[in-house]
């Protein structure tokens, strides 16, 4: 039985396909890593899955053998055509979508029940993909994603650290990072120059921020991390174009020192400030 590496080489040779760096095409060819992804995904027979970037289909065929339904979004037309000619195409639970995960209208495609998300994300778009998935979080219960180690570290980092930023806050507000598995470059073909991490994020069943307050949270996070060396008093005054004294009074009323920097705010601080801003006159004064 050929190894996944041999299958990958044969598939690429037969189709005269060359992995494109622009699309971040580093195919997963290590069975034990695929096993680790499946264990982390913890599929049950009734689960449905969205796979981002099925590529050569090595993980996909394992998903189809375990899940109730599998949606796979592939941007590369050559790989899409190859998957359409494969045995997967005749399986009624497999649904292949040709398109860009950042542009496909997922809300119109996916079922009403919450499903799990899995994918070996191209390093160049892992951050925008995470933001896109979290925008549609009501459709999903669990994310198991292969990302660059640096991205995983940013997601899991805490206040006051260099890696803590917008991505950290956004992911931790919507879910809990419960598992990280390190993956060496040798698990991929072609080999990337960086190490990777399998990241497991369990999304909270109920949103911690009401949908109508998301724009406030987004603005607050952008202000907090946009100029990391400036104090909260300064960045919030600039963001809300408000009186500095009113901003300082507001922050103190929420137990926040205006001289603190945004990068020191905890997730709970961001949630509390978002809720308070929603009911304050500061935003109305800025309208």
Q: What is the CATH number of the domain that holds 250?
A: 1.10.8.100
Question: CA–CA separation, 276 vs 287, rounded Å?
Answer: 17
Are 251 and 235 within one domain? yes
* pTM of the shown model: 0.91
Among residues 155, 175, 203, the one where a domain terminates is 203
The pLDDT score that the predictor gives to residue 287 is 52
Supply the range of the domain harboring residue 229: 211-286
pLDDT value of position 48: 97
Per-residue pLDDT, 261: 96
If asked whether residues 182 and 79 sit together in one domain, one would say yes
pLDDT value of residue 281: 85
Residues 95 and 131 occupy one common structural domain: yes
Give whole-number Cα distances, 111 to 71, 185, 206, in Å: 10, 35, 18
Based on the fold, state whether residues 160 and 279 are members of the same structural domain. Answer: no
Q: Are 66 and 38 in contact (CB under 8 A)?
A: yes
- Yes or no: say if 34 and 183 are a contact pair by the CB < 8 Å rule: no
Q: Rounded to whole angstroms, how far apart are CA atoms 191 and 269?
A: 41
The dihedral through the CA atoms of 139, 144, 146, 150 has a sign that is positive
Residue-level pLDDT at 5: 75
- At which of 203, 223, 253 does a domain end? 203
Render each residue's pLDDT in the chain as its tens digit; 287 residues: 678 878 777 776 665 566 565 555 788 999 999 999 999 999 999 999 999 999 999 999 999 999 999 999 999 998 999 999 999 999 999 999 999 999 999 888 888 889 999 999 988 889 999 999 999 999 999 999 999 999 999 999 999 999 999 999 999 999 999 888 999 999 998 888 899 999 999 999 999 999 999 999 999 999 999 999 999 999 999 999 888 999 999 999 999 999 999 999 999 999 999 999 999 888 755 55
The token pair that represents 94 in the structure block: 């497999």
Shared domain check, 227 and 165: no
Region for residue 232 given its phi and psi (left: phi exceeds 0; alpha: psi -120 to 50; beta: otherwise): alpha
What's 143's domain CATH number? 3.40.50.150
Q: Do 189 and 78 share a structural domain? A: yes
pLDDT of residue 172: 97
Answer with the one of 170, 203, 236 that is the final residue of a domain: 203
CA nearest to 127, candidates 24, 228, 212: 24
- Counting the structural domains of the chain, the total is 2
Residue 187 is predicted with a pLDDT of: 95
Claim to verify: residue 107 and residue 149 sit in the same structural domain:
yes
- Position 284 scores a pLDDT of 55
Does 276 share its domain with 151?
Answer: no
Residue spans of beta strands (DSSP E) within 40-85: 48-52, 69-74
Burial-class residue 193 by CB neighbours within 10 Å (0-12, 13-18, 19+).
exposed
Per-residue pLDDT at 17: 62
Q: Residues 242, 132: one domain?
A: no
CB 61 within 8 A of CB 93: no
Phi, psi of 143 (to 5 degrees): -120, 130
pLDDT of the residue at 18: 64
Query: Do 126 and 188 have their domain in common?
Result: yes
pLDDT of residue 123: 83
Query: Do both 119 and 254 map to the same domain?
Result: no
CA 246, distance to chain mean position in Å, is 36
Report the distance separating Cα 234 and Cα 216, nearest Å.
Answer: 17
Same domain, 30 and 94: yes
DSSP 110-167: S-SS-EEEEEE--GGGHHHHHHHHHHTGGGEEEEEEEEEHHHHHHHH--TTSTT-SHH
């Amino acid at each position: 039985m050929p190894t996944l590496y041999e299958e990958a080489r044969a598939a690429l040779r037969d189709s005269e396909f060359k992995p494109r760096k622009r699309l971040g095409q580093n195919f997963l060819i290590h069975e034990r890593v695929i096993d680790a992804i499946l264990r982390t995904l913890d599929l049950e027979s009734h689960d449905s899955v969205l796979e981002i970037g099925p590529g050569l289909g090595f993980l996909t065929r394992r998903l189809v053998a375990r899940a109730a339904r599998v949606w796979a979004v592939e941007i590369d037309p050559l790989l899409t055509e190859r998957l359409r000619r494969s045995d997967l195409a005749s399986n009624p639970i497999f649904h292949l979508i040709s398109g860009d995960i950042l542009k496909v209208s997922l809300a119109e495609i996916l079922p009403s029940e919450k499903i799990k998300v899995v994918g070996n994300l191209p390093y160049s778009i892992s951050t925008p993909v995470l933001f896109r998935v979290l925008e549609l979080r009501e459709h999903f219960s669990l994310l198991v994603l292969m990302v660059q180690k640096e991205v995983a570290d940013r997601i899991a980092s805490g206040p006051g650290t260099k890696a803590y930023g917008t991505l950290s806050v956004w992911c931790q507000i919507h879910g809990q990072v419960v598992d990280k598995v390190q993956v060496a470059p040798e698990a991929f073909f072609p080999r990337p120059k960086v190490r990777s991490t399998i990241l497991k994020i369990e999304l909270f069943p109920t949103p911690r921020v009401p949908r109508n307050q998301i724009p406030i949270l987004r603005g607050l996070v952008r202000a907090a991390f946009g100029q990391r060396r400036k104090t909260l008093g300064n960045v919030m005054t600039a963001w809300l174009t408000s009186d500095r004294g009113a901003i300082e009074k507001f922050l103190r009323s929420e137990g926040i020192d205006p001289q603190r920097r945004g990068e020191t705010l905890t997730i709970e601080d961001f949630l509390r400030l978002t809720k308070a801003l929603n009911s304050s006159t500061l935003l109305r004064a800025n309208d």
